[in-house]
A = this chain, B = another copy of it.
């Protein structure tokens, strides 16, 4: 039960649910997520930690960034995240988006 409890807890926050919906589209680094969500780096980082501990996402270093993506290896997570397909086209982005100080395009 605790496994599901952790997942529900993690998804029971609007910011984290938005992050999950974003990562369903494509893997992203903290900076990119912050661009869209619009809060501080530390806040995003904390949310990612919670999602990671719930087994919903994992991370992998690529170039100078750590890319976060949905974890497709855990059954419970797959099932629940799949349900969110019904939500396509929902407002994930925020009104007040901060400019990203470190533009990722500088690198690639």
A-side interface residues, number (CB < 8 Å)? 24
Q: Which A4-22 residues have C-beta < 8 A from chain B? A: 4-5, 8-14, 17-18, 21
Q: Is the interface of A mostly helix, strand, loop or mixed?
A: helix
Tell me the complex Cα distance, A9–B5, Å.
Answer: 10
Provided the pairs A5-B12, A8-B17 are in contact, do residues A83 and B91 lie with their beta carbons within 8 angstroms?
no
How many monomers of this protein are in the complex? Answer: 2
Closest-CB distance, A44 to chain B (whole angstroms): 18
Partner of A4, one of B1, B10, B79, B84: B84
Interface string of A66-108 (1 = CB under 8 A from B): 0000000001100110011011001110000000000000000
